[in-house]
Structure 1
Amino acid sequence: MATTETEPVQASAGKGRGLVLVCLAGVLWGTIGPAIPVVHDASGLSPLAIGGYRALVAVVVLVIAAAAMRRLRDCARLGRRHWRRVTVVGVSTATFQLLFFVAVLWAGVSITTVVCLGFAPVLLLITGSVRSRRRPSPGQLVTVTAAVTGLLLVGILGSPVGEAPYPVPGVLAALVSGAAYAISAEAAAPLSLRLDTVTMTTTTTFVAAMVLVPAGLVVPLAAGDRIWTTDIGSWALIGYLGAVTMALAYALLFTGLRTTPSGAAVVATLLEPVTAVVLAVVFLGERLTVAGVVGVVLIMAAIASLGRHSKEPAPQ
């Protein structure tokens, strides 16, 4: 019989499989950015409303899955037992998603995904050095310098003039979103060693939805924005965003975190900006300047090197 609370697994066991699962999550997340402006343009729904409905769909899908697997009681019991870390993961996930959606409309798909996903592993490297009270190695310093330089090139010079309506606020929102993503990955890593995938994904997504759904409905309503649409295509995309890019993708991430250090996992999810940039250029007509391309290359090189410095998170 499958258990709902697992013993910590060895670092070497299934590491390759864990990285593959995290990479798959990154590919799925890469389709979020291009889908947001499509839904927004077709329906008039704000990013907050899209995020709220997406979270609602994800919770419904996960609750149905948990009920089918007879895990609802386990979700409630283990969610209460680990409520502090579950809350941190859920709230930071909600913050990451809210600001990501806003940044996409303010700064564009390419800029948002690269800045957000580029900043997260850099932040994990810095906080890890502070926590261990060890100075970064020369290789780590080169990595951070390259990443920061790339972020500046992409954030300031990466988008042609006029394509991003609010470039500076958009980049700031993407940076905070990246910080929230780093926090969620760091907090989720030890929790994934204790809870099975269905329980962890359902409980943390439920907490995230408690933030995303009210924010997605109340704030736009107060601002006079639309919170409903009759466009069937938009609802289909929202259903995809909730079921695939949230429920399924986070299940893949949390499973992968069992055998993959949080730093390496964040590095692996860089397939998200790669996927998003390709889709944005091919289908949405977005362009990157030469400086933006150089910035993307620097960020990719810097983050790829972070995997060599990642350490296995200790269960807490």
Structure 2
Amino acid sequence: MSTREVPGSGSLWRGLALVSLAGVIWGTIGPGAQVLHDRSGLGSLTVTAYRAVAAVAVLALVVGLSGRLGTVRAAARREWRRVVLVGTLTAAFQATFFVAVVLAGVSIVTVVCLGFAPVLLLALDSVRERRLPRGGRAASVVVAVVGLLLVTFAGGAAENASRPVLGVLLALASGAAYALSADVAAPLSQDLDTLSITAATVGVAALVLVPLGLVVTAVRGDPFTTPDPTSWLLIAYLGVFTLAVAYALLFTGLRTTPSGAAVIATLLEPVTAVLLAVVLLGEHLTVAGVVGSLLIVLAIAGIGRASEPPTPQ
């Protein structure tokens, strides 16, 4: 069944709100992963594999209880090429991001990855339209990247980077994978319902992330399990909410929001992470952090006004 609609400005703002909420949920990954690392000792890719398992489990439960298995299977079969591409790009985004953080540090990787994504989409749209970016959209991207720089480096703490050059290259790859996954998912989200696209693409991502995480864990000799029950609860949260729920929100928002605008809206992720670090981890919010957060919110509002709802294809 088609989910196409003719969106208006109201639906565009609703779509931006949903994508922004996904960004807020993603903002809990950093603090949650930090607590998880301190308590469990599990490696990043090990946690990523378990997150994927938790996400697939809850999505399978929802599909089964709703009696939608046949619908999801048919939808995934009909659009299998784009489903596989979005799922693979999603897995690539997450895996390269976590490895880049280990090599170059979370601050620089966050800036390079999340800053490169909207710039890349702006360039792709310009190539498609065969004209320079519109002033309003370009200005919003610039404001968003400046805000991202201020928020990410607000703490001013230096980080140890074992291999910064390789880390930055992987961060660029991660940002490209994120941008392209949103770009491919935008038309796909107009053809498939939210449950179908989320279950199918997260399932493909899990098929990549789970073997990768377990193989890397075995090769490195890292532990596969932890005796700490709180760590397993955190892993369940990170899988259910930051994968299944957040991507469902993203895909729903992409029905009426251009991919470039959606990527900027998800920059609420570092804003949320900074606020949680202040509230839960005792860190201090600097003036730069406040200004950067306000700039990101301003950029989201600006891109909403400068964008037009995507035309159903």
Same fold (TM over 0.5): yes
Distance 1:311 1:107, change over 3 A: farther
Paired residue for 2:122? Answer: 125
Which of the numbers 229, 253, 256 marks the counterpart of 2:226? Answer: 229
Percent sequence identity is 60
CA-to-partner distance for each residue in 1:258-292, whole Å, 9 max, x for gaps?
22222222222222111011112443455788878
What's the offset of the Cα at 1:151? Answer: 6.6
CA RMSD of aligned residues (A): 3.0
SS of 1:14's equivalent? helix
Paired residue for 1:264? Answer: 261
Distance 1:26 1:157, change over 3 A: closer
Paired residue for 1:86? Answer: 83
Preserved CA contact (<8 Å) 2:4 2:190: yes
Paired residue for 1:18? Answer: 15
Preserved CA contact (<8 Å) 2:103 2:167: yes
Distance 1:205 1:162, change over 3 A: closer
Distance (whole Å) between structure 1 residues aligned to residue 171 and residue 256 of structure 2: 28
- The one-letter code of the counterpart of 1:38 is V
What's the offset of the Cα at 1:113? Answer: 4.0
What's the offset of the Cα at 1:203? Answer: 0.4
Distance 1:184 1:307, change over 3 A: same
Which of the numbers 237, 240, 244 marks the counterpart of 1:243? Answer: 240
Preserved CA contact (<8 Å) 1:125 1:263: yes
Query: Is 238-247 or 73-82 further displaced after alignment?
Result: 73-82
Distance 1:280 1:108, change over 3 A: farther
Distance (whole Å) between structure 1 residues aligned to residue 149 and residue 17 of structure 2: 30
Query: Is 160-169 or 75-84 further displaced after alignment?
Result: 160-169
What's the offset of the Cα at 1:119? Answer: 2.5
Preserved CA contact (<8 Å) 1:59 1:205: yes
Distance (whole Å) between structure 1 residues aligned to residue 217 and residue 56 of structure 2: 21
Distance 1:161 1:21, change over 3 A: closer
Alignment of 1:126-141 (within 5 A): 126-141=123-138
What's the offset of the Cα at 1:117? Answer: 2.7
Distance (whole Å) between structure 2 residues aligned to residue 64 and residue 245 of structure 1: 17
What's the offset of the Cα at 1:149? Answer: 6.1
Paired residue for 2:29? Answer: 32
CA-to-partner distance for each residue in 1:225-268, whole Å, 9 max, x for gaps?
22221111111100000111111111111112222222222222
2:221 maps to 1:189: no
Query: Is 210-219 or 160-169 further displaced after alignment?
Result: 160-169
CA-to-partner distance for each residue in 1:177-227, whole Å, 9 max, x for gaps?
222111111111111111111111100010000111011111121122222
Which of the numbers 248, 252, 255 marks the counterpart of 2:249? Answer: 252
**TM-score normalised by structure 2 residue count:** 0.86
Preserved CA contact (<8 Å) 2:42 2:226: yes
What's the offset of the Cα at 1:147? Answer: 5.7
- The one-letter code of the counterpart of 1:6 is S
Unaligned runs of 5+ residues in structure 1 are none
2:280 maps to 1:283: yes
Equivalenced residues, count: 312
What's the offset of the Cα at 1:75? Answer: 1.7
**TM-score normalised by structure 1 residue count:** 0.85
- The one-letter code of the counterpart of 2:31 is P
Distance (whole Å) between structure 1 residues aligned to residue 163 and residue 152 of structure 2: 11
